[in-house]
């Protein structure tokens, strides 16, 4: 078994501290340009950062980087295990909600008069094709986490509302998510 009780493997505090510091340094050294780092790599770093309980700034930085490239993500990139000891959901829904919110905020800015800025403060504009990919990914994510018995109605609804703001979301996809959740 890789993970011990409550999803956390026990490691010595000194070793955990060293790994935490090393990861925070790695995150701070990553290039800031969009599309330089694959989303799967950023997602793996985010999982490690959450597991090691790095500084919030490191985790937010990784979440922003993923949000800027959400259209390149695949479902497994968003299926981040919950390392909460509270016995919450299987996957960390709150983190993915923050990533989706950052993506949607960036998208809204590009539709208005303000350009979306990447980590280097360069203007980026998601194409309709990219927005469609991200919308389908969000639907797939909701469908995947829907069977989780620990997923509360309020969390499901808040995710569904966030996803329904996408123009590319299909009614069939949303009905499928609701059907899976209700089963």
How do residues 113-128 score in pLDDT, each as one tens digit? 444 545 455 555 556 6
Confidence band of 3 (pLDDT split at 50, 70, 90) = very low
Burial call 153-181: b when 16+ CB within 10 Å, e when fewer: eebbeebbebbeebeebeeebbebbbeeb
Of 115 and 176, more confident = 176
Instruction: Spell out the domain ranges in the chain.
Output: 5-182
* pTM listed for this prediction: 0.80
Whether residue 82 contacts residue 89, with contact meaning beta carbons closer than 8 Å, is answered with yes
Residue 107's pLDDT is what?
75
Helix, strand or coil, per DSSP, at residue 124: strand
């Amino acid at each position: 078994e890789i993970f011990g009780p409550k999803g956390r493997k026990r490691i010595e505090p000194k070793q955990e501290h060293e790994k935490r510091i090393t990861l925070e340094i790695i995150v701070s050294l990553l290039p800031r340009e969009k599309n330089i780092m694959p989303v799967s790599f950023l997602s793996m770093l985010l999982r490690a950062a959450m597991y090691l309980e790095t500084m919030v700034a490191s985790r937010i930085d990784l979440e922003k980087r993923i949000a800027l490239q959400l259209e390149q993500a695949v479902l497994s990139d968003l299926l981040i295990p919950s390392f909460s000891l509270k016995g919450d959901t299987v996957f960390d829904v709150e983190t993915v909600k923050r990533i989706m919110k950052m993506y949607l905020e960036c998208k809204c800015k590009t539709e208005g008069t303000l350009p979306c800025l990447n980590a280097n403060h360069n203007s980026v504009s998601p194409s309709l094709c990219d927005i469609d990919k991200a919308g389908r990914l969000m639907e797939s994510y909701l469908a995947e986490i829907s069977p989780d018995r620990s997923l509360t109605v309020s969390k499901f609804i808040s995710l569904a509302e966030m996803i329904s703001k996408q123009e590319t979301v299909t009614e069939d996809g949303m009905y499928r998510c609701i059907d899976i959740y209700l089963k």
